[in-house]
Structure 1
Amino acid sequence: MSRILKSQLVRYSRRAHERGLTAAFGGNLSVRSGNLVFIKATGAVMDEMTAGQVAVIDMNGRQISGVRPSSEYRLHLEVYGEREDVKAIAHLHPPYSIAVSGLVKGELPILTPEAELYLGRIPVAPFRPAGTRELADVVAEAIKNSDAAIMERHGIVTVGRSLREAFYKAELVEESAKLWYLTRKE
Structure 2
Amino acid sequence: MDIETIKEQICDVCHKMWQLGWVAANDGNVSALLEDGTILATPTGMSKSFITPDKLIRIDREGNVLEAAEGLRPSSEIKMHLRCYDKRPDVTSVIHAHPPGATGFAVAHKAMDMYNMIEDVAAIGAVPLTPYGTPSTTEVPDAIEPYLEEHDVMLLENHGALAVGSDVITAFYRMESLELWAKITINAVILGGSHDIDHENIQKLIDLRSYYRITGRHPGYKVFNPEDEMLHKKED
TM tier relative to shorter chain: over 0.9
Deviation at 1:140, TM superposition (A): 2.5
Matched, 1:143 2:115: no
Give the residue type in structure 1 aligned to 2:18.
H
Q: Tell me the equivalent position of 1:49.
A: 51
| SS across alignment from 2:23 | coil
Distance in 1 of aligned mates of 2:125 and 2:24: 27
Q: Tell me the equivalent position of 1:90.
A: 95
Deviation at 1:177, TM superposition (A): 1.7
| SS across alignment from 2:146 | helix
Distance in 2 of aligned mates of 1:180 and 1:107: 9
Q: Is the 8 A contact 1:75 1:140 kept in 2?
A: no
Q: Which runs of 5+ in 2 are unaligned?
A: 194-236
Deviation at 1:31, TM superposition (A): 0.6
Q: Aligned residues: percent identity?
A: 27
Q: Tell me the equivalent position of 1:157.
A: 162
Give the number of equivalent residue pairs. Answer: 186
Normalised TM-score (structure 2) = 0.74
Distance in 1 of aligned mates of 2:170 and 2:125: 15
Q: Which has the higher contact order (CA 8 A, sep 6+)?
A: 1
Q: Tell me the equivalent position of 2:38.
A: 36
Q: Tell me the equivalent position of 1:6.
A: 7
| SS across alignment from 2:18 | helix
- Structure with the greater alpha carbon radius of gyration: 2
Normalised TM-score (structure 1) = 0.93
Matched, 1:181 2:186: yes
C-alpha RMSD of matched pairs (Å): 1.6
Structure (1/2) with the larger strand percentage: 1
Distance in 2 of aligned mates of 1:155 and 1:108: 16
Give the residue type in structure 2 aligned to 1:173.
L
Q: Deviations over 1:9-34 (max 9, x none)?
A: 11110011112222221101111013
Matched, 1:59 2:64: no
Q: Is the 8 A contact 1:44 1:53 kept in 2?
A: no
Q: Tell me the equivalent position of 2:234.
A: none
Distance in 2 of aligned mates of 1:165 and 1:2: 17
Q: Which runs of 5+ in 1 are unaligned?
A: none
Q: Is the 8 A contact 2:111 2:155 kept in 1?
A: no
Q: Deviations over 1:73-120 (max 9, x none)?
A: 000000111100001111111111111113344543242111111102
Distance in 2 of aligned mates of 1:39 and 1:110: 33
Q: Is the 8 A contact 2:109 2:158 kept in 1?
A: no
Q: Tell me the equivalent position of 2:119.
A: 114
Distance in 2 of aligned mates of 1:183 and 1:102: 19
Q: Tell me the equivalent position of 1:26.
A: 27
Q: Is the 8 A contact 1:148 1:159 kept in 2?
A: yes
Q: Is the 8 A contact 1:87 1:163 kept in 2?
A: yes
Deviation at 1:3, TM superposition (A): 2.1
Counterparts of 1:119-138 in structure 2, within 5 Å, are 119-138=124-143
